[in-house]
Every structure is written in structure tokens, then in C-alpha cells.
Structure 1
Amino acid sequence: MLRFMPVGDSMTIGSAGEHTWRYRMWQHLCRAYGGPFAIVGPRETLHDKAADAPLSYEYADPDFPAHARRHLAGWGEGWLHMAPLIRETVKRERADVLLVSLGLIDLGFYTDAEQTAENMRRFVTEARLANPRVRMVVLPVIPNVRAESDAEFATEVARFNELLAKAVADLDEPSSPLLLASVPESYDIHFDTYDGTHPNASGEHKLAGALADAMYQAWGLGEPYDAGT
């Protein structure tokens, strides 16, 4: 049984009242994956903006089962925060496939492009120390609304995405594949987010679809993503 673990920042944990791309991915796997699977991770809540803490269980679909809500994601957390956690988490959760969306918060508040790339490389190393056959699918950083008015930030995002692509190429191994997903060509922060950063329903589908399509195209896992079902 494959065990998938979503890893990410605020775009992955989501906030109260949202579906999240994790929910869309779970629906896709239920529909498209031909074998047993599990969604794993040490956390299951959404971020509660009023409390500024991950305390909410108010998913948009109350029938989203607790066992499928699992994740390793946090509001304001990035590669910097996840690299020290990932070895023990992969080991404890027995994760086989990591679905990773990180980097925006690092570049916005903590580290430059080079430092962020080094933390990404550390993350991969640590994950493999827990499971030498772990597979990882990584999303590039999607420039958010800040990048439209802050040229220096936009440059850091572009530079990190270049370094991320190089790191994926350098670190990919047959026994532990490392895969870079593509940002959907149609992704528009003015249409697919509710605030210029965080995905709305259409954005959730597109992020889940980017990860799902990458796994299908590279590994033959599942089938192409269909947002209409």
C-alpha cells in the first residue's frame, strides 16, 4: 500500500472553511489510483486565522474523512522548518511518496534563494535517511502578489526555481525518484487564489492536478487529473 504525505506551508495546510488541494488529491487518488493507499502525516487540522494557530477541523466538506486529512504542513513553515522534521516524520509515518509545496515563505521571510535551495537539499537527504526508497514530487514556487510589486522578491523566486530544478536533476536517483512538477500554464493568481497567494477552489484543483499529472507522466501512477469529477 502506497502511503502519500503532503508537505507544505499555508497553501497546503489551508485555513478554516477551505477544501485544500490535499482534499482534491485524496479525491483524485480514490478515483484514479488502482490500489490501496493511505494519506499520512502527523497533523490533520486547518489553520484558524482568528486564533492564528492550527486548531480548526472545519473543512469545507465535513465528510472529508479524518484518516485522509493527514499532512505535514504549517502556516508560515518552509524548507527551513521541514528539513529538521522530515527524517523522523517519514520514519514514523512510513511515508512512500512526499507531495511537496514549499519555498514561498522561506524566500519571503527567512532565507535567500541559495540558502533555500540548500535547505531543500537537506530535506531530501534527511527523507532518504528514513526511507532510502522514498519518492518525492516537488512544486516550484508560484510567484504571488508580492512579486508583482517587489522586483527583488520576484528575482529571488525566479532564482530559487532555477536552483530547485538543478537540485532535482542532481539528486534524482532510480531507487528514490525526485520529480519536479510543472506549475499549470493556466494558473493565475488573480483567478485561482482568494488573496493573491492562497488557492481558491480552482487553484486547489490546479495544484493537485500538477502533482497528480507529474506522477502519472513520470511514474505511470494513477491517471491524468480530472477537475470535473
Structure 2
Amino acid sequence: MTIGSAGEHTWRHRLWRHLRDTYEGPFAFVGPREALYDQATQTPTSYEYADADPGFRRAHLAGWGEGWQHMAPLIGEAVRASRADVLLVSLGLIDLGFYTNAEQTAVNVVRFVAEARRARPRVHMVLLPVIPNVRAETEPAFADEVARFNELLAKTAADLDEPRSPLLLASPPPGYDIHADTYDGTHPNARGEHKIAAAFADAMHEAWGWGGAYGTA
């Protein structure tokens, strides 16, 4: 959902355009990766973004099929190397779908936060709750697991929040419809990209006064 596929804008690009037009001050996206996922070769090797705007720095840490358990061991070095000030995190669906239950996934959230702060004690973080995908419509147990994790994520964000390193829980994108906002029941289409970008933008604007409300630019 974050790395995106060949031929897409990605919500990262949508958010960059919004911040470019509303945020008063310099900023840059950072991270050790830049590629999109190539579904033809099933490898993260494409650079065919839908918009080739030269101002868009494509840097990120997203990976196709990677979740909290994959990112927790990587985040410390990524933050240290890039000197990231803010982490925008949308993870969890793949964990719950294939690797860990809600409680185990929440443990990996705690590890992720600790590693990020160890690398940069004043790092800010914005966490997006898991958006249930089409599987949740046919598997009640999976839907319950997603709901349980989102409850734990909210509790974790509240428990670990601290003034020098704020941990902000974004609101789920209002009106997100997996049939209208994704192309396969999971991955966002253009409309979904805008809604995810808006969730992050509005959280930062409302909590910290950064940028403007999404849609004002």
C-alpha cells in the first residue's frame, strides 16, 4: 500500500504534493529505497511512477509484503542513516494476514518504536490504523483480529507517547471503501491514495499545525 506498483502515483506522492503547497518550510522524504513493486516480475525494481515530477524525492522504506515484524529490525539503521525527523507508518495488514496475531503484532510495534527512538530520540511518528481489506468481509475471525490490533495500536500509541518524541495515531481515512478506493480489495487506486495521504496530512495539521488540511491546495 505504501511502496506502490509500477504505473502508480502512490499516496507518498500525493502527500508530497500537498505538503509542497501547504507546508511553510523545507522538507524532504527520506529512506534507503526508491523503487516501486513490479507486478510483472514480482520484484521491487520499477521506477515507473505515474508522475515523473523531478521535485518528488522518492525515498522511502516500504516493502511489498513487509510489515511490522520486517520493519522493526530495519528502522533503527534507516532512521540513523537518513536522520529522519518524522516517520509516517502504515503497517499491519500483512502481519495479521500471514505472520502474527494482534498481540504479537503489537509487540513488534513496541519494538519498532524503541528502535526508532534509540536511533533518534526526538523522532516524531504518525501511525495509521490497519484498513481492513476484502478478506475481512468473508472471514469474521480475520476482521476481529484487525479490530483487536487497532485497539492495541491505539493503546500503544497512548502509552508510548512522550513530549520529546510524539507518537500520533492518525484517524482511519473517512469513508474509505475497499470496493471504490482499491483496485483489488487491498491496494489503493488513485482515490484511495488521496484518502491515505489525507489521513496523514490531517493528523499532522491538526496535532502539530504542519501544512494545511488536505484538499486546501
- The one of 27, 32, 39 aligned to 1:42: 32
CA distance in structure 2 between the aligned counterparts of 1:26 and 1:70, rounded to whole angstroms: 11
Shift of 1:135: 0.1
1:164 partner letter: L
The residue aligned with 1:225 is: 214
CA distance in structure 2 between the aligned counterparts of 1:216 and 1:142, rounded to whole angstroms: 21
The Cα RMSD (Å) is 1.0
In the alignment, is residue 197 of structure 1 matched against residue 180 of structure 2? no
In the alignment, is residue 24 of structure 1 matched against residue 14 of structure 2? yes
8 Å contact from structure 1 (residues 43, 70) kept in 2: yes
How do residues 205-216 of structure 1 correspond to structure 2 at under 5 angstroms?
205-216=194-205
The residue aligned with 1:176 is: 165
- The one of 109, 119, 122 aligned to 1:120: 109
TM-score for the superposition, normalised by structure 2: 0.98
8 Å contact from structure 1 (residues 23, 64) kept in 2: no
In the alignment, is residue 146 of structure 1 matched against residue 144 of structure 2? no
The residue aligned with 1:105 is: 94
Q: For each residue in 1:121-153, what CA deviation from the matched residue of structure 2 results, as whole angstroms up to 9, or x when unmatched?
A: 100000000000000000000000000001111
In the alignment, is residue 52 of structure 1 matched against residue 42 of structure 2? yes
CA distance in structure 2 between the aligned counterparts of 1:211 and 1:63, rounded to whole angstroms: 21
CA distance in structure 1 between the aligned counterparts of 2:54 and 2:92, rounded to whole angstroms: 27
1:48 partner letter: D
CA distance in structure 1 between the aligned counterparts of 2:137 and 2:92, rounded to whole angstroms: 17
Shift of 1:29: 1.0
8 Å contact from structure 1 (residues 79, 119) kept in 2: yes
The residue aligned with 1:62 is: 52
Q: How many equivalent residue pairs?
A: 217
Structure 2: unaligned runs, 5 residues or longer: none
- The one of 104, 125, 132 aligned to 1:136: 125
Structure 1: unaligned runs, 5 residues or longer: 1-10
Shift of 1:63: 2.2
Q: Which has the higher strand share?
A: 1
CA distance in structure 2 between the aligned counterparts of 1:24 and 1:38, rounded to whole angstroms: 14
8 Å contact from structure 1 (residues 182, 214) kept in 2: yes
